[in-house]
C-alpha cells in the first residue's frame, strides 16, 4: 500500500523529526511510504536560514545573524538525516498542491506530533484535519497539545474527524475531551511513534553518530523553556559526581543569566541527539521527547514540568507508574532529586506488567487493523469498478 505521512516535516526539532522517522521506519516494513512535504511559507519562515527574507528590526537581524553562524552545522545535520532516511514527496506550499499530492496515495496518516494544536498550525489547522479533502485517512497519535480546543474550532474538528476512517490520539486527556465534544466515533489511545521501534533499533541508529562525548559520563540537559530548578539540579549532580553538564540546545538562540558551568551544544543532529541520551549518566528535561528517550533507554532522569504543554509528559509518566514525580514548584532541597532518581530507576523493573507495554502493543495493533481494513476497502472499490 502506498502511504503518505502528514506531520511537521518542516520543523528543525528533535522530537518532530525523530517521531516522524520512527513512524516512517515502522510502516515501511510492509508498505511504500512517503513523508508529505507540506511546507507553506508560514512554517518555512519559522526556521528560515536567511536573515533578510522580510523587513526586521536591527536587533532581530543581529540575533538571526548569530543563529545562522552558530546553528549552521545543526541545520545541515537535520537536512542530511531527513534526506538520507526518508522519502519525501514534491513540496506543496498551499492547500491545492497538498490535495494533488494526497490523491496519489492509497492512504494518508495524519500525525504524530501536535498536528491538531491551533497555536502551531494557525489557519492551516483545516489542512492537518484534511477538511474537505477526499481520501482514505487515519490519524496516528495526533496531539491537541493542550486540554481543549477553541470553541470556534469545535465544529471544524467534529466535522473533519467524522470523515476519518480511524482516529487515534496521543493523550488520554485528549480522548476524554474529544469524546465529549465529538460523539459517535471511537477514539483510540496510541503511543508516540518513537516507542514503535525498539531501544535496540535506536541504539543501532546512534552508532552512526561520531559526536564526541566525555568518557567518564555526564549530566544531560534538554530544556525547552528556561527552568532555574533544572539548572540548579544540573549543577548539584555535576558537583556530586564530578562530571560535566552538557546541554542540547534548541534551534533558537537563547540567553539566560549564569550558565551554571553548562556546556551548550549547538551542533547536535538527530542521530547525535539519540546518542547523547543513550550515553548520559543522568538526564534532566522538561521536554516530552526528552522524557520519552530517557524512558526508552532506561535512564535515571528527572522530568521538570512545562508551563504550557505538561499534560503530555504527565500522561507518558503515568504509563510507567511514575505519577507525581515531576518537579513543578521551587526546589528547596536535593533530597527530592535523589528520591526521584531512585523511583525512575525502579520503574524499569517488570515493564511487561506496566501500562506502557500494553499501550505500545495496542498502538501497533491499531495500525495493523486500520491498514488491513483500508486494504480491504481498496480491493472492494477496485472490484466494484
Same domain, 47 and 189: yes
198 Cβ partners below 8 Å, 6+ apart?
none
Same domain, 58 and 177: yes
Same domain, 307 and 362: no
Same domain, 121 and 257: no
Same domain, 222 and 186: no
Q: How far apart are CA 284 and CA 308, in angstroms?
A: 18
Phi, psi of 256 (to 5 degrees): -140, 120
| DSSP structural state of residue 187 | E
- Least Cα distance to 108 among 145, 80, 142 occurs for 142
pLDDT tens readout for residues 350-384: 887 789 999 999 999 999 999 999 999 999 988 87
CATH number for the domain harbouring residue 88: 3.40.50.2000
Same domain, 170 and 269: no
Please identify every stretch of the chain with a pLDDT value under 50, giving residue numbers as ranges: 51-53, 58, 257
Same domain, 75 and 129: yes
Domain count along the chain: 2
155 Cβ partners below 8 Å, 6+ apart?
none
Domain residues for the domain of 74 are 2-196+357-384
Same domain, 124 and 181: yes
Same domain, 216 and 332: yes
Phi, psi of 167 (to 5 degrees): -130, 130
Same domain, 145 and 173: yes
pLDDT of the residue at 204:
97
pLDDT of the residue at 51:
44
Same domain, 44 and 75: yes
Same domain, 150 and 29: yes
Q: Which three cell numbers stand for residue 118?
A: 491551533
- pTM strictly above 0.95: no
- What is the largest distance, in Å, between two alpha-carbon atoms of the chain? 71
pLDDT of the residue at 49:
53
Amino acid at each position: 500500500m502506498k502511504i503518505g505521512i502528514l506531520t511537521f516535516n518542516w520543523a528543525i526539532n528533535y522530537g518532530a523529526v525523530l517521531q516522524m522517522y520512527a513512524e516512517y521506519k515502522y510502516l515501511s516494513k510492509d508498505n511504500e511510504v512517503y513523508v508529505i512535504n507540506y511546507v507553506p511559507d508560514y512554517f518555512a519562515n519559522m526556521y528560515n536560514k536567511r536573515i533578510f527574507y522580510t523587513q526586521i528590526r536591527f536587533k532581530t537581524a543581529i540575533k538571526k545573524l548569530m543563529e545562522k553562524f552558530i546553528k549552521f552545522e545543526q541545520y545541515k545535520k537535520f537536512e542530511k538525516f531527513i534526506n538520507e532516511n526518508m522519502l519525501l514527496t514534491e513540496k506543496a506550499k498551499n492547500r491545492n498542491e497538498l490535495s494533488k499530492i494526497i490523491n496519489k496515495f492509497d492512504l494518508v496518516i495524519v500525525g504524530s506530533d501536535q498536528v491538531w494544536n491551533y497555536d502551531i498550525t494557525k489557519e492551516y489547522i483545516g489542512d492537518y484535519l484534511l477538511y474537505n479533502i477526499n481520501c482514505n485517512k487515519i490519524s496516528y497519535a495526533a496531539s491537541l497539545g493542550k486540554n481543549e480546543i477553541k470553541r470556534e474550532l469545535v465544529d471544524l474538528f467534529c466535522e473533519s474527524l467524522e470523515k476519518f476512517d480511524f482516529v487515534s490520539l496521543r493523550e488520554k486527556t485528549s480522548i476524554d475531551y474529544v469524546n465529549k465534544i465529538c460523539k459517535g466515533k471511537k477514539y483510540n489511545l496510541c503511543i508516540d511513534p518513537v516507542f514503535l521501534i525498539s531501544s535496540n533499533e535506536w541504539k543501532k541508529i546512534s552508532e552512526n553518530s561520531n559526536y564526541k562525548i566525555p568518557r567518564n559520563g555526564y549530566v544531560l540537559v534538554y530544556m525547552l523553556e528556561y527552568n532555574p530548578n533544572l539548572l540548579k539540579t544540573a549543577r548539584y549532580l555535576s558537583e556530586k559526581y564530578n562530571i560535566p553538564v552538557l546541554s542540547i540546545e534548541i534551534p533558537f538562540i537563547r540567553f539566560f543569566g549564569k550558565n551554571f558551568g553548562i556546556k551548550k551544544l549547538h551542533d547536535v543532529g538527530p542521530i547525535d541527539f539519540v546518542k547523547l541520551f543513550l550515553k548520559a549518566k543522568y538526564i534532566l528535561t522538561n521536554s516530552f521527547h526528552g522524557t520519552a528517550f530517557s524512558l526508552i533507554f532506561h535512564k535515571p532522569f528527572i522530568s521538570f514540568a512545562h508551563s504550557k504543554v505538561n499534560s503530555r509528559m504527565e500522561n507518558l509518566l503515568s504509563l510507567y507508574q511514575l505519577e507525581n514525580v515531576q518537579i513543578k514548584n521551587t526546589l528547596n532541597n536535593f533530597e527530592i532529586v535523589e528520591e526521584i532518581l531512585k523511583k525512575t530507576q525502579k520503574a524499569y523493573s517488570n515493564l511487561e506488567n506496566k501500562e506502557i507495554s500494553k499501550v505500545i502493543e495496542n498502538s501497533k495493533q491499531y495500525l495493523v487493523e486500520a491498514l488491513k481494513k483500508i486494504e480491504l476497502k481498496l480491493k472492494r472499490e477496485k472490484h466494484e469498478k
